[in-house]
Structure 1
Amino acid sequence: MQIIALHTRLRAGKEEDYDRIHAEIPDDLDIALRAAGVHGWRIWRSGRDLFHLVECDDYTRMRAYLREHPANVPWQARMAELLEVSDDYSGKEPEVKLVWELPELTK
């Protein structure tokens, strides 16, 4: 499984719209994401900056699967209205390598 980190940025004044739209993802998009091999997708927002953590089988394959998917095309069109920087994907795998984490306390 891959863990992918992405950064996007909202257009000024679109923060509330983005939060509202993401409060409920359409069922057909949820199904498409899972069919594309996505196991988890979390998004954090700090002001206009969005930080995504995607857990998937194969990020490149997932993007190809969703590119023309009928559930994803209208979603991406809607996101394009809200995003200033739609994707900082540079063509190479933005996979995140875990270097360190705070260990759990043992008693």
Structure 2
Amino acid sequence: MRRIALHTRLKPGREHEYDDVHATIPAELAAAIRAAGVHGWWIWRDGLDLFHLVEVEDYRRMRDELRDHPANVAWQARMAALLDVTDDYSGTDSGLALVWALPTAADRAPS
């Protein structure tokens, strides 16, 4: 299992619309995301900046599987109207670089 951090940015003035759209994720999209190996996905917003944490079995495989999925294609088209950057959904990125972490109890080896 990997944790992938991502950063995206909203177009100015689209904050409330983005929040409203995310109040209910389409069931078909949620099912496709889970089937692609995602165990959890969290998004935090600070003004226009969005920070995602994705717990996924294989990030590139997930991107490959979702790229042409009809539910994801429709969702990405909707997000393109709200986001400041264009994402070709290539899956060639590897997320944000981890600088530091305080390990959880599960991450620490027994002494």
Q: State, as a whole percentage, how many aligned pairs show the same letter.
A: 57
Counterpart for residue 58 of structure 2: 58
Counterpart for residue 20 of structure 1: 20
Cα distance, 1:2–1:17 mapped onto 2, change above 3 Å: same
Normalising by the residue count of structure 1, what TM-score does the alignment of the two structures yield? 0.85
Which string of whole-angstrom CA distances, capped at 9 and with x for unpartnered residues, describes residues 7-39 of structure 1? 000001000000000001000001000000000
Pairs within 5 Å for 1:4-15: 4-15=4-15
Structure ranking higher on relative contact order (CA contacts 8 Å, 6+ apart):
1
Distance 1:90 1:75 in 2: 16
Pairs within 5 Å for 1:17-96: 17-87=17-87, 91-94=92-95
Runs (4+) off by over 6 Å: none
Normalising by the residue count of structure 2, what TM-score does the alignment of the two structures yield? 0.83
How many residues matched? 103
Distance 1:66 1:42 in 2: 18
Which string of whole-angstrom CA distances, capped at 9 and with x for unpartnered residues, describes residues 56-101 of structure 1? 00000000000000110000000000000245x8834226658432
Distance 2:64 2:86 in 1: 17
Q: Superposition RMSD on alpha carbons, in Å?
A: 2.3
Cα distance, 1:35–1:48 mapped onto 2, change above 3 Å: same
Contact 1:11 1:83 in 2 (8 A): yes
